A and B are shown apart, each in its own frame.
Chain A
């Protein structure tokens, strides 16, 4: 009997007992479903972290100097107390870095805050992401201007109250009117709109387009931070190869400025996108090891259920097996028939699980800010696991069926 015939026979058998077959593979379905869903979400997160998140927070090939790490997972309150005792980063720090770097690089300061904004038309928006920055920030962060222009270094140095709006902010404040040349007010300070940024989309469900960017030394600087203080200094070397050297330079400059002695720890944080990914890599590694482990427990249970159902099925079909043996079926024929049936059953379960898992991943993606990326490799893994579980679960029932004595089997009811 060929494998194909065996599979067709198995499908017939499964079709004849749909409900029983379904319950037999429920464990496999659920195991596979969760595997695919979780792996898809984790992979989606991963892609997101690599492509968008790290880039958005730190910028690609950019070194960030700040008082404390941008992302910290420490649960120790002492750590945070120590962070708060650290000196703030200042414009002078940025100037010192710009002067002291040994490699060519863009240097910019940046500070964030949130606040309301009112247009000259009297329309108000709440919670706009306000940024005070150097002119080079636009280049470091790859922020493209859709309309108008970005501000210049001379405008920054002079503290000219000009502002670049996010796409969403501009359209809300001015509707279909041309915003260029019009004015907006932020906490009483008036700015002249000179540009509108290109649409950026959202990050974890938060809009990246409801924002405004003004020179750090304009009134915006005072609105987002105390005078002379900045959130961070961004350094982007012209050559990616200079990243390491630039980091060394920044650390040396800052240690001198903060008068740290040899043994003292840095009281500032120097981070890059690549480094920030390490925390996520750790989470991902744990998930990718732990989750398949949990799933394999589900599959073991699923396998035991399949084995039991196959044992019942073989017992129910004792007479059929007797007939087949009388007509010339060898042990191997019966063995293969039962194994193929068990493997086919389990494979169908796995396929069903994959289908449900993919749908579930899409639902998770639609209903939450978590992105999902279906990994074809894991589908392959699921299919192989399904077949393996079926074959392993079928071994004992198959051996029992193959060993049946035809005389006894033919007498069975």
Chain B
């Protein structure tokens, strides 16, 4: 069996608020294999944002271990984490988080700039991935000139351009209407079918149903971890667990 994309052991995050210590995440053990499509659910305050920040290497755990694609990342510092994010993770945010003054192409090019890739290759890869998400004709547009769905596609393209081990989406349809949401989720399904490992953090059941496995967090611990039969049936394949 290949190395899991994600493996956490006793992952714990505590925040100190005044005299009180809040345990946002307690001893979470989770393994995600290659090409899994997993949804993280939970009410607000359940620790799912904290979990996502840790998985996305935006934050460091108070205790516990985390291996990303076999690399131990729990002990890394700021700049090392930046490199890990750049190489292994593709982010899709609820609010798109595109640079407003940059074109779609430049937004997608951004991770490659920080990866130190030459201008020529950057453009090639950015154009390639923009075409893949169906925005081949919108590359010189700025975010303000694009619809919500198109913006999120730019964000997806940006997330994919570095060929990440994990596509990490935080409420990817939270700011989209239902028609556009369906389109974006269809794109995710397509990417998953192409071999991409995907983690979606959401509180919407409809969205979670696209995933093949749903992990529900409550009060910082894993409450349930179930395979999603309907999604599996639709995809017609066994989960890679």
A-side interface residues toward B, CB under 8 Å?
A: 1, 5, 12, 16, 319-320, 322-333, 406-407, 410
Contact = CB atoms under 8 A, between A and B. Distances in A.
Interface in B59-100: 59, 78-79, 82-83, 85-87, 91, 93, 97-99
Contacts of A322: 97
Contact of B53 (A323, A329, A407): A407
A325 B97 CA distance: 12
Interface of B: 53, 56, 58-59, 78-79, 82-83, 85-87, 91, 93, 97-99, 101, 110-111, 113-115, 158, 162
Contacts of A16: 101
Contact of A320 (B87, B99, B162): B99
B79 A327 contact: no
B113 A1 contact: yes
Nearest to A13: B101
Given A407-B59, A410-B93, A327 B114 contact: yes
Given A325-B82, A327-B158, A407-B58, A5 B113 contact: yes
A177 B158 CA distance: 88
Given A5-B113, A406-B58, A331 B97 contact: no
B55 to A, nearest CB: 12
Contacts of B113: 1, 5
18 contacts: A1-B113, A5-B113, A323-B97, A323-B99, A327-B86, A327-B91, A327-B110, A328-B82, A328-B87, A328-B111, A328-B114, A329-B82, A329-B114, A330-B79, A330-B83, A331-B82, A333-B114, A410-B58
Nearest to A317: B99
Contacts of B83: 328, 330
Contacts of A331: 78-79, 82
A327 B93 CA distance: 12
Nearest to B90: A327
B58 A327 contact: no
9 A-B pairs closest in CB distance: A328-B86, A328-B114, A330-B79, A327-B111, A330-B82, A406-B58, A323-B97, A407-B58, A329-B114
A331 B83 CA distance: 11
Contact of A328 (B59, B101, B115): B115
B54 to A, nearest CB: 10
A16 B82 CA distance: 28
Contacts, number: 54
A12 B86 contact: no
B69 to A, nearest CB: 15
Given A5-B113, A326-B97, 8 more contacts: A1-B113, A323-B99, A326-B58, A327-B158, A330-B78, A330-B82, A331-B78, A407-B53
B97 A319 contact: yes
Q: Output the residue of B78, B87, B93, B98 with the most chain A CB within 10 A.
A: B78
B148 to A, nearest CB: 17
Nearest to B170: A410
A6 to B, nearest CB: 10
B107 to A, nearest CB: 9
A329 B81 CA distance: 10
Nearest to B85: A328
A332 B114 contact: no
A1 B109 CA distance: 12
A324 B58 CA distance: 12
Nearest to B111: A327
A12 B83 CA distance: 26
User: Of B58, B59, B91, B115, which is in contact with the most chain A CB atoms at under 10 Å from its CB?
Assistant: B58
A315 B108 CA distance: 24
A327 B78 contact: no
A407 B59 CA distance: 7
Contacts of B99: 320, 323
B101 A12 contact: yes
Contacts of B115: 328
Nearest to A403: B78
Contacts of A407: 53, 58-59
Contacts of B53: 407
Contacts of A329: 82, 114
Contacts of A1: 113-114
Nearest to A16: B101
Contacts of B58: 326, 406-407, 410
Nearest to A329: B114
A410 B95 CA distance: 10
A330 B78 CA distance: 8
B101 A327 contact: no
A323 B106 CA distance: 13
A117 to B, nearest CB: 75
Contacts of B82: 325, 328-331
Given A326-B85, A328-B114, A410 B79 contact: no
Nearest to A15: B101
Contacts of A330: 78-79, 82-83, 114
A331 B59 CA distance: 15
B156 to A, nearest CB: 14
B45 to A, nearest CB: 16
Contacts of A320: 99
A407 B97 CA distance: 13
B192 to A, nearest CB: 22
